Structure 1
Amino acid sequence: MRETKRTLWESWLDRNVDADDPVPLFNTEDDLTVSLVDHGRAKRRPVLERSREMEASVRSAVAKVADDHETRRGRYDGVVYMMYTLDRSELVPLYIGKSGKFKKESDGLSANLEHVESNDNKFARWGYGNAYHMGDLSAAALDACDDVDTSNHGSPKAKYRTWARRMFETGTRRLQRPVYFWIRAWDRSEGPYPDTYPYLAELEYQLIGIAYELYPETLLNTEGVPNNPDAYAKMREWIHRDQTGLDDF
């Protein structure tokens, strides 16, 4: 079954993700130290800077969804995205998520997808604002850096402290290895399982479920996996196999 899922995973990646031309998540210096940019109005704070390529990919994908929403064609459900790294040529998923097209209580365009060309706060869930991926990851990662003033940061959720530990060298904003980003406007194309055309939320959990079984030691998702993912992976004897070579993750 595991090898069947690996085949499904790799086939889906081949159809959707160009790992030969990866998009960096962060703007980094040559030594993989992530650059900082100030964010906020009343309380300016340093945050980890997204790469220009990443921002362009988000804006391109979201523009398709926003236009679809405005014209009421109903082609796209929202965007699906993945943060990942590479082990030689193997794509190793770190986090899989989505941002749906609609608001929770109306058919208006989700606030997460509005104004991504000018608003850095939400940015399809990858915004610099508090309670968004880059904002909370910045608070968690920079809190350990003695040379960065984090007094205006909020307190990040525990999951972002885990992200920071897995991604950065201790006490620095230097990545352990390059981290990449992929995003796509989801149009209910074929999912990872043959002859299935999942809606966005369904696709997200299909991908998380497969990725967790193949990469239980590296996947950072906390939803869509067992309550104690490490214990479950050990019980199923997934966690001891030499599959990624990423000893630091």
Structure 2
Amino acid sequence: MIHLPEWLAQQERHVTPLFETAEDGLTVKTHLRGKEKPRLTLTRHPSFDAAMIEMVTAGLAEEDWQGFLYVLHTGEGDALTPRYIGKAEKKGVKNPVSANLARIASNHDKFGRWGYNKAYHIGDLSHAVLGAAFTPGQAPGKYHRWADALFETLNPPTLRVPVSMSLIPWRDGARGPSGLIGSLAAVEYEVIALAAVAYPEELLNVQGR
């Protein structure tokens, strides 16, 4: 079986910063979203948005495209540590195309699971980092763990180290790290299991470990 970093490096993937930051590369920029009750939100990096839109637009035009695997990393250069692994599938529960991916260029609230809305990664992480002062309610507990792991300070929101994303398109016939041909759901669990062994303290996934 191939080691996880080696397998990731061999994949067709888009690697970009996740957050737009100030010149120091660590202080995350924020913006207000919503008209009636504006809320302060962490800002995604423009290159991440562009990579997501390009990949999903191309993928939806391919019959064998299942969706994509995403890997949240911390670190820089060749020293990237996988911190969270997930997937976004092409097919929805009721529709041929998932609402997470439909109209991706304007779908910023869902945006392949990395949208600004509640129940999406950037929305709930923003709530955990910024929400106590700006919005009622409480973010899900896992995003408080994310905030603790990724951010040195919350006011201003300052990362411990740079955070980036790998977006890995997945097609019929693609092989996971074990070499077996599998579905996107199968490879997600395989990659999580490998990351849990290689990075037991760093990995933020709970399910699939």
TM-score, structure 2 length as denominator? 0.91
Go from structure 1 to structure 2 and tell me whether the alpha carbon gap of 1:154 and 1:110 turns closer, same or farther (over 3 Å shift).
farther
Q: Greater relative contact order: 1 or 2 (C-alpha under 8 angstroms, separation 6 or more)?
A: 2
Residue by residue over 1:36-87, the C-alpha shift from the partner in whole angstroms, topping out at 9 and shown as x without a partner, is: 122123321110000011111111121123223xxxx2x1111111110126
Alignment deviations for residues 162-212 of structure 1 (CA, whole Å, 9 cap, x no partner): 000111113330000000011122114221112x12110001000000000
Contact 1:64 1:185 in 2 (8 A): no
Alignment of 1:13-24 (within 5 A): 13-16=8-11, 22-24=15-17
* Structure 1 match to 2:206: 222
Q: Which amino acid aligns with 1:163?
A: W
Contact 1:17 1:182 in 2 (8 A): no
Q: Is the 8 A contact 1:8 1:193 kept in 2?
A: no
User: 1:197-236, CA deviations, whole angstroms, 9 ceiling, x for partnerless residues?
Assistant: 21100010000000000001111112102xxxxxxxxxxx
Stretches of structure 2 that go unaligned for 5 or more consecutive residues are: none
Percent identity, aligned pairs only, is 37
| Structure 1 consecutive aligned stretches of length 4 or more whose deviation exceeds 4 Å | none
> Higher Cα Rg: structure 1 or 2?
1
Q: In the alignment, does 2:31 pair up with 1:37?
A: yes
Give the Cα–Cα distance (whole angstroms) in 2 for the partners of residues 64 and 91 of structure 1.
27
Residue in structure 2 matching 1:114, options 84, 98, 102: 102
Alpha-carbon separation, structure 2, partners of 1:67 and 1:17: 17
Q: What letter matches 2:175 in structure 1?
A: E
| Aligned counterpart, 1:28 | 21
Counting only pairs closer than 5 Å after superposition, residues 198-213 of structure 1 correspond to structure 2 as: 198-213=182-197
Gap regions ≥5 residues in structure 1: 226-249
RMSD: 1.9
Q: Which residue of 54, 65, 89 maps to 2:48?
A: 54
